Structure 1
Amino acid sequence: MRKILLPAVLLGLACAGAAQAENVHVNPTNGFISRAVKVPAGSDTLYVSGITPQTVQGAPAATPFGDTKTQVQSILKQIGDILQGQGYGWEDVVMMRVLLVGDPAKGGAMDFAGMMEAYNEVYGPLKKKPARITSQVAGLVRPGMFAEIEVQAAKSAK
């Protein structure tokens, strides 16, 4: 009996420790992003494909998706719905990749400030922010799209 009981107790303790493991966000200055995020082994992971903006009803043909801020708001709303539908939240996002196209209204430069305004609507009040990369690309799937975002989220296994 003792030979069976000891391994069972040890297994129970190991599982209890794993269930309490949390992502570690390295953000010493409480900046806009984490410098790194450490995800414990055995975590459940969700990969969200690159999400593009939805069209804005009544928008001009040249900018059917709105400006960069509007597009990022649309994308983050969609991602938030996906996260919630899968049992995750914004604080579970460990990596975010933001692709921005140059905005003709900004001389072909990406609208980083517009992206950050929308990003901060979600992440401004949160302490746990993802690691992130923001890059300017030549183009996306459809003309007028200025943003595409993909994320990875992780949380303790159930």
Structure 2
Amino acid sequence: MRACTKLILAALPLAALALPLQAQAQVTKIKSNPQALILDAAEVKAGTDMIFVSGQLPAPLDPAKPMSELKSPDDFGDTKTQTISVLGKIKTVLEKQGYTMADIVKLTLFVAADPKLGKLDFAGANEGFKQFFGTAENPTTVARSTFQVAALVSPVYLIEIEAIAAKKK
């Protein structure tokens, strides 16, 4: 038998091992407390498709109003309303790329104080979050970090959210 043929035959079992490894590409969501709003962690194995969604800001309540006239958070709603708007935008970005909200493994929330409350509205952000996670449509949740920031790009915004989604190839 020629050396080249021996090398190919020797490599076949190794190639066969590589196929199951690719098939095992997966995302594991880790949650120790079933009642918890967010995950403890998310594990993304090699070979998994991923998308990183840039920080998204809320849309104005009246999309017909010119940006130059949008002067206060009232033009965008409270923290809950803005959270729903931002997560809706993230959902649209993901769907255009073939992902769903259930594919999100990590969210980072940047929340500014609501001038009406004089503080961060963490409860409002969570209420908006609950419209997209732990629902009949999407029973999953995500790993998440929330940061209070002094301000966002404009004082009209109360929240900005970035996302990482992953799914099997």
Range class of TM-score, shorter chain = 0.7 to 0.9
Partner of 2:86: helix, strand, or coil? helix
Q: Provide runs of 4+ in structure 1 moved above 6 Å.
A: none
Give me the whole-angstrom Cα distance separating, in 2, the residues matched to 1:68 and 1:20: 40
- Whichever residue aligns with residue 14 of structure 1, its letter is A
The aligned counterpart of 2:32 is 28
Q: What is the CA distance between 1:131 and its match in structure 2?
A: 0.9
Q: 2:130 aligns with which of 120, 130, 136?
A: 120
The aligned counterpart of 1:111 is 121
| Larger mean Cα displacement after TM superposition, 7-16 or 33-42 | 7-16
| Larger mean Cα displacement after TM superposition, 128-137 or 7-16 | 7-16
Partner of 2:15: helix, strand, or coil? helix
Give me the whole-angstrom Cα distance separating, in 2, the residues matched to 1:67 and 1:34: 26
Give me the whole-angstrom Cα distance separating, in 2, the residues matched to 1:71 and 1:6: 59
What are the within-5 Å matches in structure 2 for residues 2-151 of structure 1? 4=8, 7-8=11-12, 10-30=14-34, 31-57=36-62, 61-62=71-72, 63-106=74-117, 108-125=118-135, 126-151=138-163
Partner of 1:136: helix, strand, or coil? strand
Task: Report the TM-score when normalising by structure 2.
Answer: 0.81
Q: 1:97 to 1:9 in 2, by over 3 A?
A: same
Aligned residue pairs total: 156
Q: What is the CA distance between 1:44 and its match in structure 2?
A: 1.5
Q: 1:87 to 1:6 in 2, by over 3 A?
A: farther
Give me the whole-angstrom Cα distance separating, in 1, the residues matched to 2:139 and 2:23: 21
Q: Percent identity?
A: 38
Task: Report the TM-score when normalising by structure 1.
Answer: 0.87
Unaligned runs of 5+ in 1: none
Give me the whole-angstrom Cα distance separating, in 2, the residues matched to 1:127 and 1:9: 40
Q: 1:6 to 1:155 in 2, by over 3 A?
A: farther
Give me the whole-angstrom Cα distance separating, in 2, the residues matched to 1:78 and 1:19: 31
Q: What is the CA distance between 1:19 and its match in structure 2?
A: 2.8
